[in-house]
Amino acid sequence: MSRKGVAKWLLIMKMIFILTVAFCFTVNAEGFSQKISLSLKNAPIEKVFKEITNQTGMSFFYTESQIRKAKRISVQLNNVSVEEALNACFEDQVLTFQIVNKLIIVKAKEPVTVNEKPIEEASLPPPAQIIKGTITDEEGKPLKDVSVMVKGTNIGTRTGENGSFQIEIPDGAAKVLVVSYVGMDSQEINVSSNTTVSVKMLPSTKLQDDLVVVGYGTKKRENLTGALSTVSAKEIESRPIGNTQQALQGLVPNLNLSVSNAGGEPGAGMAMNIRGLQSFGGSNAPFVLVDHVPMDINSIDPSTIESVTVLKDAASTAIYGARAAYGVILITTKSGKKSKSNANVTFSMNLGLAEPVQFPRMVGTMEFAHAMNDAARNQGSAPWYNQDALDRLAKNIANPGSAPVMYGRPDGQTWDIGTMGLGAADNTDWYSILMKDQAFRQKYNLGISGANDKVDYYFNVGWYDEEGLLRYGGESFNRYNFDAKVGAQATNWARISVLFKYNQAVQEFPWEQDLGRGRIYDMITKLKPTMPAKYPGTDIWTQESRIAEWQALRDNTTLKQMVIAPRIIITPLKDWVINLEFNYTQNNDQQELSATEWFWMRPNGQLAPGIPKPNTSYRPRINTSNYLSPNLYTSYTKSIKKHDFTVLAGYQQETFQYFNIKADATYLLSNNVPAINTAVGTKTVEDGKGHWGTQSFFGRLNYAFDNKYLFEANFRADGSSRFEPDDRWGYFPSVSAGWVFSEENFFPLKKAVDFLKFRASFGQLGNQNVPNYLYIPTMGIAQSNYLFGPDRLWAVTAPNLSSVNLTWETVSTLDFGVDFRMFRNRFSTSFDWYESHTGNLVGPGVALPAVLGTAVPLENSGEVKTTGFELELKWRDKIGNVQYEIGGNLANNKSVVTKYNNPDKVLTTYYEGMVLGELWGYETAGLFQTQAEVNNWVNQSFIYSGRWEPGDLKYIDQDKDGKIGIGRNTATDHGDKRIIGNQLPQYMYGFNAAVFWKGFDFSVFFQGVAKQTLYITEIFNGNVYRGPANGPFHAMVYEGQLDYWRDDKSALGPNPNAFFAKPYSVFTGNNDKNYGNPTDRFTPSGAYLRLKNLRIGYTIPPRITNKVRIANVKAYISGENILTFSQLKILDPEQTGGRNGDGRTYPLSKVWSFGLNVNF
């Protein structure tokens, strides 16, 4: 840890200590005396349970057979404690109860109807069979208090201290015993021929109290009718990652997370969509709500997450209307829970070391020089390395420093080193100079939570600190999170709570005046290995190394976000709940760009400014925004016999405002104090202001009959300021239904199948995902690009054609799903098939002739049909002491344009029948070997009208017209172009496996993409893949790139069967022959499989930790991005694209970390 790191750590510990002390004094969590009221007449006991659950949030645990014995209940209770209420209800019952945390366990009363002695009153005791037995847990230890019932009767008993029991099965009863125990799977034992049985109970594979968070409420998993997936805290904890997106990648089928433009830079977010691209151009980003507050998914601390629900189909998301067209992610953070001790204190930490997952390495320096000379010769240019340079290079490779590495020009002003060291003669291993061996990461969390009758609370302080990979880049990402949730039962009809979240993230990076942050990795790819790192005989970094520049040009960004969300829950009447929620989010981001002086050295020994003093600058940007959203919603729940109803209605309003200020000031007086006040040059300031608002009404009806037939309907009306008044409102209905087949009496597979449910849903959603004010013609304001005298004058630009009548995109989704569990719930699976139609798609209007002179305005012109599926599988079991689980998921989707105003089907825009992501290009037939072969081949002048030579690519003349062409460039007349692949990832999958044994746990998690075509040779983004086939500035020769076509004139020898075509030392021009268009040869597969995470943990036995008053200590080692399987050469398959183009973005990290989780 750096000294700075230690200081921060101490500060954090201090804060934690103060908080801990403060809250230990105020909290007193004992007993459970939440008040309830019951008014029931002759009600079944389930009804009572439901009532108590509704009022208290406590859950009941019981078996169906147990409560069949229960009597109906009539009570009139007002404002009594739960215990009093339960006592009253259980008074005359054969059952009793026990409260464990928020769980009420229903069990038979002791002594129950035992069979120890015959019933005396019986006149004719029926012949009976007496069964004896022992019941143990999975390790063979006897279990006490296990309920043993005769199936179909109310005869039962419980095991004693040694786990043994004896029971008599009356004649006529089924010779089947039902054995049940809290937290274990119930078992039915056939005893027809036995008199002695021994039963081993296995831990329940069903999640206890499995409530799933859904829009504006929760629902029992079994009653869900929509398509959604959940992730629990357990699945994402103990990983050395800073953000929630990384944690979710690969866990949820069809939640697609891919590396964003920022690549793997510290603090980078990812690109995200649910069920693929269903729209044009738009982000398709899902709507993320954290505890009902819309938030950026990465501004929360992953350690605070309790559960994540991903809502995928329209029926599940419809309640969120216009913001939710492309799915919703609901994140629920942890909150205070009652525990035996006063407060639950948890501490976790993770210390990690990172290195790039994949970073291409240069070939040997001499090979580099020869390859670059080949490229120059192919281009007809003078060699980059003349004989003198090659001789000096050979000497320096053999004996470093034995020959001059670079020459100054005769004027002494500049160095004769070509571009980035092309032609210089050093042998520099830039990778080891620029990259750290390991970058350090650390993460700490302290949580304190608890609850008593009146108050529950949760506090969390988290700190995440990530260093960048560059040795001299001074990059870092730091995030502090503070979360607090406090709730109080104010009266017996009102509960108030407040959610407070604050996070502050600080990113420090080098930047570049023209291209901003992230240029570094782009520049690294251009550094030639012959470029010296330091000026000869000095300790001054060369200008080309950019090290001095990185240190002088800084981007320090601070992102601050505060959420305050007070809530009131009122229960005016039994079953009626009113929620009043007020969400307020404030963002306050500051970016300080500064460029101070730095120097390089001229051959004459003088220092020269890298940035002249007048160009030094300080450029602060302040971006602020406010989001305010009052929500009022109310629900009423009613059960009549087997009919359960819930009705929900609500109103939501959102107002968003932003205000940004951007200032530029040049000519800093002092390098040490960059500020606007200390700048004496030109100062400019700009602002950006804007706002939008929505108003929405929504409602939902749930109906369930006998837990078998489930029905739900949603309706939402949304108004958005982004549209013209007449097109402003959208109405979005949805319905869904479920049938729990396994609950039917006639279900044929009761023994084998534990649960089988069929689901179907249909719904419509809107999307307001378009820029503000599109319908208003606005005129841009800028400074003229032309000097009027010495000055730039202000200038106003013509408005673009405004998009009149623009309205909501609508997404209609039909979804069929099935949920299935079998083998005593060991195996569970869920499958969804869906088809969605996105209509009124906002996209560029019909292609118009260019004489229009401006972009075609956006219009609601298109329709896209998306079909796809999601499959989740899970298996959990034990073998002896070893518990294990295996899970996997697979998803795919395909979007086809079904309507678009492009009658000619011109291929430069969308057209009917287009599959989103499809890549048009050419099929090829290898490389020319001789000039004769070139001359006999078809006319390829359409691709490049200059000369074709051996080593260039042969294109296939598909339409046999003797020349390569694109016809009219339409879908029907496309000449020799073909669809050669699809650039969107297809068949995305993830799978995991975990093994638990005596406190040890081991888990692996793989994630991958099965199919994807990469177009990575495009000139502006694909420089890295092309290697030496670039202009001198961009060229590099990485390992693998020496496999280019050469004739025998090359110093590296001929290579006629090469993979890469002949390289030319020019930015465009000749290289267009081989790389100017997508071809089947140079569009490799992006399929990959990656071991995302591997974890080995050990939980110290409680008997040891309890001695030091620690409930639980778990230590683990975790590895991230450990292994990758891919056919892609040179680049990381997860990281093509990015801010500066393929392979020129911050690499992803492979991280090994050590972590500790402690519960006090």
Partner 1 sequence: MFVSCEKNLDRTPLDQISDPEFWKTDGDLELYVNNLYGQLPGWLTTGSGGNPLLDASTDVAIAAGLFLPTKDPMDGVINVPATGGGWNWANVRNANYFLDNADRVPAGGLKNQYVGEGYFFRAWSYFTLLRLFGDLPIIPKTVTPDDQDLLYSPRVSRTEVVNFMIKDLDSAIAKMKKKNELPSGRINRDIALAFKARLCLYEGTWEKYHLNDAFKGATNGTAFLELAAASAKSLIDGGSYSLVTGNPNQVYYELFNQTDYRQNPEILLFRGYNQEAYGSNFGNQVWNWPNGSGITSEMLRSYLCTDGLPSSVSPLYKGDLDIRLVVQNRDPRLVQTVMNPGDPITISLSNDTTKFVVPTLTAQQYCPTGYESQKFRRPQLDPRTGSYSANQAYIIMRYAEALLIYAEARAELGQLTQADVDLSINRLRSRVGMPRLVLGSITVDPAWPDYGYAVSDYLHEIRRERQVELFSEGFRFDDLMRWKGEKLIVGKRPKGAYYTAELKAVNAGLKADANGYLDPYATLLKGPASTWGFDPNKNYLRPIRTNELTLNTDLKQNPGW
Rounded distance between C-alpha atoms, residue 282 and residue 843, angstroms: 9
> Tokens at residue 264, please?
């793997």
Using the contact rule CB under 8 A, the part of the chain among 66-74, 450-458, 738-746, 942-950 near partner 1 is: 942-950
566 sits near partner 1 (criterion: CB under 8 A): no
Least distance in angstroms from the C-beta of 1129 to partner 1? 28
CB 527 within 8 A of CB 429: no
* Residue placing its CB nearer to partner 1 in the complex, 190 or 682: 682
Interface with partner 1 in residues 671-700 (CB under 8 A): 681-682, 687-695
HEC string for 25-75: HHCCCCCCCCEEEEEEEEECHHHHHHHHHHHHCCEEECCHHHHHCCCCEEE
Rank residues 382 and 398 by Cβ distance to partner 1 and give the closer one.
Answer: 382
**Stretch 757-776 residues interacting with partner 1 (CB under 8 A):** 772-773, 776
Whether the CB-CB separation of 358 and 1132 falls below 8 Å is answered with yes
Q: 853 vs 962, which CB is nearer to partner 1?
A: 853
Q: Which is nearer to partner 1, 215 or 845 (CB)?
A: 845
What is the distance between the alpha carbons of residues 391 and 597, in angstroms, rounded to a whole number?
37
- Output the smallest distance, CB 354 to partner 1, in A: 33
Binding mask 461-500 for partner 1 (x = CB under 8 A): ----------------------------------------
Per CB under 8 A, does 913 bind partner 1? no
Tell me the residue ranges of DSSP E strands in 977-1128. 978-982, 986-997, 1000-1011, 1088-1100, 1112-1126
- Please, what is the minimum distance in Å from the beta carbon of residue 311 to partner 1? 26
Cα–Cα distance list, 752 to 249, 824, 830, 886 (Å): 33, 8, 17, 20
For the segment 602-661, give every residue that binds partner 1 (CB under 8 A).
Answer: 608-609, 612-615, 617, 630, 632, 651, 653, 655
Which letter does DSSP use for residue 802 in this model?
A: P
Mind giving me the DSSP string for 145-199? Answer: S-EEEETTSS-EEE--TTSEEEEEEETTS-SEEEEE-TTB--EEEE-SS-SEEEE
- The pair of structure tokens assigned to 57 is 């949030």
Pairing type for strands 196-200 and 128-136 reads: parallel
Task: Note whether 266 and 308 are within 8 A (CB).
Answer: no
**Binding string, residues 39-58; x marks residues near partner 1 by CB under 8 A:** --------------------
Judged by CB under 8 A, the chain residues 394 through 453 that form the site for partner 1 are: 410-414, 416, 418-419, 422-423
Specify the stretch interacting with partner 1 by CB under 8 A; choose among 358-366, 556-564, 863-871, 899-907.
899-907
**Residue 298: helix, strand or coil by DSSP?**
helix
Is residue 126 involved in binding partner 1 (CB under 8 A)? no
Residues 1064-1083 that bind partner 1 (CB under 8 A): 1066-1069
In the bound complex, what is the minimum distance in angstroms from residue 633's beta carbon to partner 1? Answer: 13
> Going by C-beta distance under 8 Å and a sequence separation of 6 or more, which residues neighbour residue 21?
none
726: contact with partner 1 by CB under 8 A: no
Q: CB 934: neighbour CB atoms within 10 A?
A: 17
Interface positions, 1126-1155, toward partner 1 (CB under 8 A): none
Contacts of 1116 (CB under 8 A, 6+ apart): 238, 1001, 1095, 1096, 1097, 1098, 1154, 1155, 1156, 1157
What tokens does 836 get? Answer: 């969605």
Q: Which of 587, 516, 521, 524 is nearest to 555 (CA)?
A: 516
Q: Closest distance between partner 1 and the C-beta of residue 966, in Å?
A: 6
Q: Considering only residues 705 through 724, tell me which ones interact with partner 1, judged by CB under 8 A.
A: 719-721
Taking the C-alpha atoms of residue 160 and residue 147, their distance in angstroms, rounded to an integer, is: 10
* Subset of residues 788 to 817 that bind partner 1, contact rule: CB under 8 A: 788-799, 801
Q: How far is the CB of 509 from partner 1 (least distance, A)?
A: 21
Q: Which is nearer to partner 1, 356 or 730 (CB)?
A: 730
Separation of alpha carbons 157 and 167, rounded Å: 7
Phi then psi for 135, rounded to 5 degrees? -125, 130
970 binds partner 1 (CB under 8 A): yes
For residue 152, give the amino acid letter. G
From residue 728 to residue 757, the character string flagging contacts with partner 1 as x (rule: CB under 8 A) and all else as - is x-----------------------------
Strand partners for 645: 638, 703
CB of 1032 to partner 1, least distance (A): 6
Residue 528 is which amino acid?
A: K
In this complex, which beta carbon is closest to partner 1, that of residue 335 or of residue 379? 379
Between 383 and 529, name the residue whose CB sits nearer to partner 1.
Answer: 383
Bridge partner residues of 232 (DSSP): 307
**Beta-carbon neighbour count of residue 689 at 10 Å?**
9
Q: Does 907 bind partner 1 (CB under 8 A)?
A: yes
Nearer to partner 1, 639 or 666 (CB): 666
In the complex with partner 1, the residue whose CB is nearer, 666 or 883, is 666
Cβ nearer to partner 1, comparing 835 with 1072: 1072
Indicate the helix (H) or strand (E) that contains 547: helix 547-552
**What part of residues 335-394 is at the interface with partner 1 (CB under 8 A)?**
379-383, 386-387
626 - beta bridge partners?
586, 657
What value does the CA radius of gyration of the chain take, rounded to a whole number of Å?
35
Q: To the nearest whole angstrom, how small is the minimum distance from the Cβ of residue 1035 to partner 1? A: 11
Nearer to partner 1 (CB atom), residue 824 or residue 968: 968
Could you tell me whether strands 709-720 and 858-879 are parallel, antiparallel, or unpaired per DSSP bridges?
A: unpaired
User: Restricting to residues 272-331, which ones interact with partner 1 according to CB under 8 A?
Assistant: none
- Whether cis (ω within 30° of 0) applies to the bond prior to 674 is no
The minimum distance between CB 697 and partner 1, in angstroms, equals 11
Q: How far is the CB of 848 from partner 1 (least distance, A)?
A: 6
The only residue of 264, 282, 1032, 1119 in contact with partner 1, by rule CB under 8 A? 1032
Which residue of 500, 731, 937, 942 would you call a contact of partner 1, by CB under 8 A?
942
Using CB under 8 A, count the residues that bind partner 1: 110
* Interacting positions 513-532 with partner 1 (CB under 8 A): 513-514
Residue 907 or 1148 with smaller CB distance to partner 1: 907
When the beta carbons of 493 and 1033 are compared against partner 1, the nearer one is 1033
Quote the least distance from Cβ 1014 to partner 1, whole Å: 21
Q: CA distances (Å), 17 to each of 10, 11, 702, 1075, in order?
A: 11, 10, 47, 61
Measured from the CB of residue 375, what is the shortest distance to partner 1 in angstroms? Answer: 13
Q: Is 856 in the site for partner 1 (CB under 8 A)?
A: yes
Is the Cβ of residue 900 or residue 944 nearer to partner 1 in the bound state? 944
Q: Are 702 and 711 in contact (CB under 8 A)?
A: yes
- Please identify, using beta-carbon distances, which residue of 261 and 969 lies nearer to partner 1: 969
545 and 277 in contact (C-beta within 8 Å)?
Answer: no
Grouping H, G, I as helix, E, B as strand and the rest as coil, residue 736 is strand
963 near partner 1, rule: CB under 8 A: no
Strand partners, 622: 590, 661
Does residue 664 belong to the site contacting partner 1 (CB under 8 A)? yes
160 touches partner 1 by CB under 8 A: no
Write down the least CB distance from residue 774 to partner 1, Å. 11
Is 1033 a residue that touches partner 1 (CB under 8 A)?
yes
Q: Which residues inside 815-854 make contact with partner 1, applying CB under 8 A? A: 845-854
Q: Which two tokens stand for residue 664?
A: 């530029």
Q: Which of 966, 993, 1100, 1111 binds partner 1 (CB under 8 A)?
A: 966
